[in-house]
Structure 1
Amino acid sequence: MAQSPYAPSAVASIPAEVQQMAAYSQLGNFKKEYQPSFTNPLAIIGILIGSIVLDIAVLVALITFTGYLFYYLLIVPVLVLIWAINALKHYNWRIYLFNEGYIHARGSQLELFRWDQIQAVYVNVTRSRSRVNMNFQVRRGDGALWKYGSAIKGHSELGAQVQEAVTRVQLPRVIEAFNSGAQIPFGRLNVNGQGINDGKKIIPWDQIGTIEMNQGKVAVRQNGRLLTLSSIKASEVPNFNLLMSLVQYVVSRRQPQAYPQY
Structure 2
Amino acid sequence: MTEPDDLTRAREELGDPEAIYQVNPAWFRTKLLVGLALVGVGVAAVGLAVVFGFKLLQHLFHFIIWPLLAGGGLVLNLYRQRGLHVLIYPTGLLRLRRGEVESFPWDEVAEVRLKTKRVDTAVLVRGPDGEPAECWLPAEVPDVQVWTAGLTVVRADGAKAEFSPALTGYAQLAEEVQRRTFPPLWRDAFRRFRDGRTLAFGKLDVNLLGIHHKGQLLPWHEVGKLTVAQGQVGISQKKKWLPWATIKPAAEVPNLHVLFALAAYAMDAPPAPESEPDEES
TM score, norm. by length of structure 1: 0.69
Question: What letter corresponds to residue 23 of structure 2 in structure 1?
Answer: P
Contact 1:37–1:153 at 8 Å: present in 2 too? yes
Which residue, 80, 93, 97 being the options, matches 1:106? Answer: 97
Give how far 1:83 is off: 3.8
Contact 2:81–2:163 at 8 Å: present in 1 too? no
Give how far 1:95 is off: 0.3
Larger radius of gyration: 1
What runs of 5+ residues in structure 2 fail to find an aligned partner? 120-138, 142-148, 272-281
Find the residue that maps to 1:111 and give its secondary structure: strand
CA–CA distance in 1 between the matches of 2:263 and 2:91?
25
Give how far 1:211 is off: 2.5
Contact 1:120–1:138 at 8 Å: present in 2 too? yes
Aligned runs of 1:1-262 on 2, under 5 Å?
A: 15-19=7-11, 22=14, 30-38=17-25, 47=33, 72=63, 83-127=74-118, 132-133=140-141, 134-223=149-238, 225=240, 227-254=243-270
Find the residue that maps to 2:79 and give its secondary structure: helix
Give how far 1:208 is off: 2.0
Higher relative contact order (CA 8 A, sep 6+): 2
Report how many residues are paired: 230
CA–CA distance in 2 between the matches of 1:230 and 1:74?
28
CA–CA distance in 2 between the matches of 1:187 and 1:74?
32
Give how far 1:34 is off: 0.6
What runs of 5+ residues in structure 1 fail to find an aligned partner? 1-12, 24-28, 256-262
Where does residue 9 of structure 1 map in the other structure? none
CA–CA distance in 2 between the matches of 1:33 and 1:114?
16
Give how far 1:171 is off: 0.7
Find the residue that maps to 1:177 and give its secondary structure: helix
Where does residue 276 of structure 2 map in the other structure? none
Give how far 1:176 is off: 1.1
Percent identity between the aligned chains?
20
Distance 1:76 1:213, change over 3 A: closer
CA–CA distance in 2 between the matches of 1:215 and 1:79?
18
TM score, norm. by length of structure 2: 0.65
Where does residue 3 of structure 1 map in the other structure? none
Contact 1:93–1:106 at 8 Å: present in 2 too? yes
| Superimposed CA distance per residue, residues 146-191 of structure 1 (whole angstroms, 9 cap, x where no aligned partner) | 2211221222221122122212221122111111121111111111
CA–CA distance in 1 between the matches of 2:236 and 2:70?
40
CA–CA distance in 2 between the matches of 1:236 and 1:116?
22
Contact 1:39–1:92 at 8 Å: present in 2 too? no
Contact 2:86–2:94 at 8 Å: present in 1 too? yes
| Superimposed CA distance per residue, residues 98-135 of structure 1 (whole angstroms, 9 cap, x where no aligned partner) | 2332100012221101111111111122259xx93342
